[in-house]
């Protein structure tokens, strides 16, 4: 089929709405720019019925405006803290929980269940699994989103999740190529640098990709906005690097799928190159699909600027038509495999809940023995609101203490209000990260000094566990989800035995 230039460019972007409906303004924009793909954030979707309805409307609109070409309707749905929905979808735990359980069949089952739920709601592209090797304990953006710090473990579980997801009809997307695991900076806000040689990258960051690609388990990857100065001599991140996207990804690793960029509005791009210019540079370097959505109000102006800039660059020759046509070809090839129509699938929510419980139970890891005696009080830091997902769009507001209360019926409190909590024998503290002089450590030491029993549940990566006071029982569940918290409490109460394998080195 012969596409116009506008239609070709429309195939190369992931567009986002600024609300959970197609307004007249949104429809006019999508028609004018021949938008061919969409990415959703937490402000666009919350439940199954609403997602399915919106996605069906979007699919019909894009089929009408894009010469009958199926759209990609995508989302970041990793499990753990990157979870856009507030209800109906199974809230699976983090990747680190899955690697602690270390059961590839369970990981594949999780990927398949995620895929079945997403596909039934009208999604066909999910930005998961994360195959960053989290080798830097100071990493603030990956952490529990990774399968750990061992490249082989990351490869095994990454392949398993991707297999399950794609078998359910949803294209998996490995991220963030070539790796976001060895940095202390978050590319949402900064432009990080990883100063490693190609051989060092092959041994660590690139290892999962090299293992997974030959299996045919995945048809897309997402780039990272990180500088690799030993690989790319120009001062551009991987997203805009021909040496990385063509030299390593295409030529060395023989990847033949879709190359998706991470969000082009992230400050790593916006502050250093400009979002619209960055889009042109990325396609020219070998990217195929640009994520230009942000999931918030005011996004339309930025998206318009990007689309106009791509069009003008194509007309002027700054962006060669050969680059555009090659990118479109990769996108259309993937759409032949993962496009519609969508059947009215019946979701086996009961079975998905069983899978969820099984992986959480198998993942709980004991760092220090001990349990609970007498009356328990569950407590966490004085956070009034918890937002899940990197866009802070998901309205869940449950703390560790509230989740524990839902599981046990026992009392819960914030750590700055313990004096008002009444009598207790065991203080059970939920911690996302172990930090020196944190309110959690202070409360644990004070409770121990009063002769209380103290148990700590580590909800994130268990780095710096050596800072925990002696005398505490310590278990890890690696996720702040209902099932993960319940599984950790069951171990502390002696109802189940810990079965998890520590998925990271502690030092």
Which residue is catalytic, options 188, 272, 392, 410? 188
**Residues pairing with 421 in the sheet:** none
Q: Is the dihedral of CA 65, 69, 70, 76 positive or negative?
A: negative
List b or e across 219-235, with b for residues whose CB sees 16 or more CB atoms inside 10 angstroms.
Answer: bbbbbbbbbbeebbeee
Does 188 qualify as catalytic in the annotation? yes
Question: How far is it, in rounded angstroms, from Cα 416 to Cα 406?
Answer: 21
List b or e across 11-49, with b for residues whose CB sees 16 or more CB atoms inside 10 angstroms.
Answer: bbbbbbbbebeeeeebeebbeebbbbbbbbbbbbbbebe
Helix (H, G, I), strand (E, B) or coil at 311: helix
Question: How far is it, in rounded angstroms, from Cα 29 to Cα 162?
Answer: 34
Q: Where are the beta strands (DSSP E) in 252-345?
A: 258-260, 290-291
Longest CA span, the chain: 77
Phi, psi angle pair for 235, to nearest 5°: -80, 65
Contact call for residues 357 and 483 (beta carbons, < 8 A):
yes
Tell me the Cα Rg of the chain: 23
Given the DSSP bridges, would you call strands 290-291 and 376-380 parallel, antiparallel or unpaired? unpaired
Does 47 qualify as catalytic in the annotation? no
Helix (H) or strand (E) holding 172: strand 171-172
Which residue is catalytic, options 18, 149, 219, 262? 262
List b or e across 104-123, with b for residues whose CB sees 16 or more CB atoms inside 10 angstroms.
Answer: bebbbbbbbbbbbbbbbbbb
Q: What is the DSSP string of 361-380?
A: HHH-EEEE-----SSEEEEE
Question: How far is it, in rounded angstroms, from Cα 201 to Cα 220?
Answer: 20
Contact call for residues 263 and 291 (beta carbons, < 8 A):
yes
Phi, psi angle pair for 419, to nearest 5°: -65, -20
Omega into 178 within 30° of 0, i.e. cis?
yes
Q: How far is CA 122 from the centre of its chain?
A: 19
Distances (CA, A) of 371 to 28, 144, 280, 410, 428: 60, 25, 57, 16, 10
Within 13 A of 407's CA, how many CA atoms are on the CB side? Answer: 23
Active-site positions read: 188, 262
């Amino acid at each position: 089929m012969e596409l116009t230039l506008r239609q070709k460019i429309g195939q190369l972007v992931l567009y986002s709405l600024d609300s959970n409906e197609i307004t007249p303004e949104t429809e006019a924009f999508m028609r004018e720019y021949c938008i061919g793909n969409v990415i959703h954030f937490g402000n666009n979707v919350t439940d199954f019925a609403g997602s399915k309805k919106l996605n069906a409307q979007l699919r019909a609109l894009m089929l009408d405006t894009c010469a009958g070409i199926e759209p990609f309707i995508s989302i970041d749905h990793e499990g753990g803290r990157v979870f856009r929905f507030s209800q109906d979808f199974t809230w699976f735990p983090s990747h680190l929980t899955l690697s602690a359980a270390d059961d590839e069949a369970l990981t594949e089952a999780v990927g398949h269940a995620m895929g079945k739920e997403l596909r039934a709601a009208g999604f066909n592209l999910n930005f998961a699994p994360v195959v960053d090797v989290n080798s830097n304990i100071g990493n603030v953006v990956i952490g529990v989103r990774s399968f750990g710090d061992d490249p082989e473990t990351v490869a095994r579980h990454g392949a398993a999740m991707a297999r399950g997801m794609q078998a359910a009809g949803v294209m998996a997307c490995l991220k963030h190529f070539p790796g976001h695991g060895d940095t202390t900076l978050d590319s949402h806000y900064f432009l990080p640098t990883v100063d490693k040689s190609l051989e060092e990258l092959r041994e660590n960051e690139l290892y999962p990709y090299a293992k997974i690609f030959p299996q045919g388990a995945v048809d897309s990857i997402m780039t990272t906005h990180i500088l690799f100065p030993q690989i790319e001599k120009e001062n551009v991140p991987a997203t805009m690097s021909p040496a990385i996207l063509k030299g390593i990804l295409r030529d060395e690793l023989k990847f033949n799928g879709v190359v998706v960029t991470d969000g082009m509005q992230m400050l790593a791009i916006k502050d250093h190159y400009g979002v619209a210019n960055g889009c042109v540079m990325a396609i020219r370097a070998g990217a195929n699909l640009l994520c230009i959505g942000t999931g918030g109000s005011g996004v339309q102006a930025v998206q318009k600027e990007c689309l106009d800039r791509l069009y003008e660059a194509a007309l002027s020759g700054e962006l060669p038509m050969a680059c555009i046509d090659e990118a479109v070809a990769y996108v259309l090839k993937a759409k032949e495999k993962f496009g519609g129509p969508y059947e009215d699938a019946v979701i086996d929510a009961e079975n998905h809940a069983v899978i969820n419980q099984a992986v959480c139970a198998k993942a709980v890891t004991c760092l220090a023995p001990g349990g609970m005696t007498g009356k328990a009080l569950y407590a966490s830091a004085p956070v009034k609101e918890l937002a899940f997902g990197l866009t802070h769009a998901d309205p869940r507001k449950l703390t560790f203490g509230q989740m524990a209360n839902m599981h046990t019926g026992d009392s819960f409190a914030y750590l700055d209000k313990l004096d008002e909590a009444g009598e207790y024998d065991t203080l059970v503290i939920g911690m996302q990260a172990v930090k020196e002089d944190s309110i959690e450590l202070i409360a644990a030491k004070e409770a121990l000094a009063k002769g209380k029993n103290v148990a700590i549940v580590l909800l994130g990566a268990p780095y710096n566990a050596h800072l925990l006071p002696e005398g505490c029982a310590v278990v890890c569940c690696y996720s702040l989800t209902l099932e993960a918290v319940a599984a950790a409490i069951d171990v502390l109460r002696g109802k189940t035995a810990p079965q998890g394998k520590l998925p990271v080195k502690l030092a």
